[in-house]
Chains A and B, each alone.
Chain A
Amino acid sequence: MIQSDYFSKLRADFDDFYYKNLWYKLVTLEENRIKHLHRFWLLFFLLGIALPLFCLWAFGEWMYLVFTEGSSKDIEGLLKLILLIGAVIVSVIGAPIVAYHTDVKDSIIDDFIGFFGSFKHYFFKKIDDNIITQSQLISGFNRHSGDDYFCGTYKDVRMIISEEHLSKKHNKGESTIFEGIIILLDFPKKFNGQTVVLKDWGHFNFLHTTEKKLERIKLEDIIFEKEFEVYGTDQIEARYLLTTAFMERMLLVRNAFKGKKIQFSFFDSKLFIAINTSKDMFEPASLFKSSTDRRPINDVLEQFISVFSIVEFLKLTQQ
């Protein structure tokens, strides 16, 4: 949890905001939740019985193939069929959960983020592939999907907050390259080149690869250098962006996201921040808890606070 006087006050103010703007909407969603919950259990029991039966049939079929024909040629096809049917069953069972989450988001998420600034929420929108590639923080992906996407301003700072999943599909399946939040915001200084701030890998820093040829930039802050490795197109510009005060503020952000990989890229007068969270974010409801349960709401509040703390810690509103 981010600790600061500003955010403590914000948390206290949120209680009022919650009861004035969100609570009554959540109350009306309770009936809807119960309907979705009943559907979920019904599907769970029906398909829960169907799935083991299907597995038994599949196992019998496999035994037959191995012992009667002595060939395992068709086993791969059978396994693919099992996986496909399994995936269909899981998505059918999960459908009421997704539907309820969508209902809740539809009715409260715009108000929720309105507590912080002027934002618009979009489902499944994503940051352009070219921007992600340009950042030089994430590369080698050929599949890209977005979940929650917020676009707007926080204290006059224009920004996009997007939950993204980037992966690479290859012969043996699919591997995740990035799963987390991408924040793209207007940086208050003008610059022409690119500066990339990557996580320090100690003795393995030589493995850092960037598409463009970027020069290593050695900065004087020892603690900062221990946490990050900086590369850029221009030595002077990198130092113009990463002043000693700004490096200290970036360390505050790093500490606030301890345990998560956070990397920065400055290009096109914008700051691109990639935070690996490896979990589904901004879900203000759970099908299995009352719609007015505060825990999921508080979780989302903390997630927003961590995002906006970056703007506060970096003092981007004051420049």
Chain B
Amino acid sequence: MTVIIFALLAIMAVFYFIYVSLIKKKNKVKEASSGIDVQLKKRYDTIPNLLSMASKYMSFEENLLKEITQLRTQAMETSFLKNPKESVKLENKLSSKLKEFNVSVENYPDLKSSQPMVQAMSSLSDVEENIAAARRFYNAAVNDLNNAVEIFPSSLIANMLNIKQAVFFETPENEKQSIQAGDYFK
């Protein structure tokens, strides 16, 4: 009888520890998601300043500036915490447009060298680095959670508690490809 009681207690203890660990991992993903939202908010705050400076010089890039404004508005309406898939899609589009914007700025030496623009570009690049850091934290948290959800015995408890795998924050394919310097000299 004692053996059975001890065995039951041991099983309950194991169950409890797995449960605690799963909840911690799930909360870590939530924490990381809000971290991404905080960093994205910083990006949204930087963009208007950047665009208002650029609009004076880049009248020929009106379409690009409009697209960035629209994407920013759409992205601001979506929260990464609530809808990660949609948010990632919009953020990747916005990132790609901001890269286009960076390249276009190169064609306007006066704009590129103006002090406020240099500062704005520098804060944007800082924000981008923070977003990358937040994304790494989020992906690490997701990886931990997904492993626990997939691997036995925690997979059983995850199933019972309806804890599901989370989505990774994937970078667009064109950003993953390494730069081939040769392509630029063809």
Contact = CB atoms under 8 A, between A and B. Distances in A.
**Most chain A CB neighbours (cut-off 10 Å) among B31, B39, B134:** B134
Interface residues of A, number: 11
A236 B134 contact: yes
Contacts of B32: 235
Interface stretch (B8-16, B67-75, B125-133, B177-185): B125-133
B81 to A, nearest CB: 15
Given A235-B32, A235-B35, A243 B132 contact: yes
B85 interface: no
A236 B130 contact: yes
Contacts of B137: 235-236, 239
Contacts of B129: 240, 243
Interface residues of B, number: 13
B41 interface: no
Contacts, number: 29
A237 interface: yes
Interface string A200-226: 000000000000000000111000000
Contacts of A238: 133
Nearest to A237: B133
**Most chain A CB neighbours (cut-off 10 Å) among B39, B129, B130, B136:** B136
A186 B133 CA distance: 21
A236 B39 contact: yes
Nearest to B130: A240
22 contacts: A189-B126, A218-B140, A219-B140, A220-B136, A220-B140, A235-B31, A235-B32, A235-B137, A236-B35, A236-B130, A236-B133, A237-B133, A239-B133, A239-B134, A239-B136, A239-B137, A240-B129, A240-B130, A240-B132, A240-B133, A243-B129, A243-B132
Interface of B: 31-32, 35, 39, 126, 129-130, 132-134, 136-137, 140
A-B pairs with lowest CB-CB distance, top 5: A239-B133, A240-B133, A235-B137, A239-B136, A236-B134
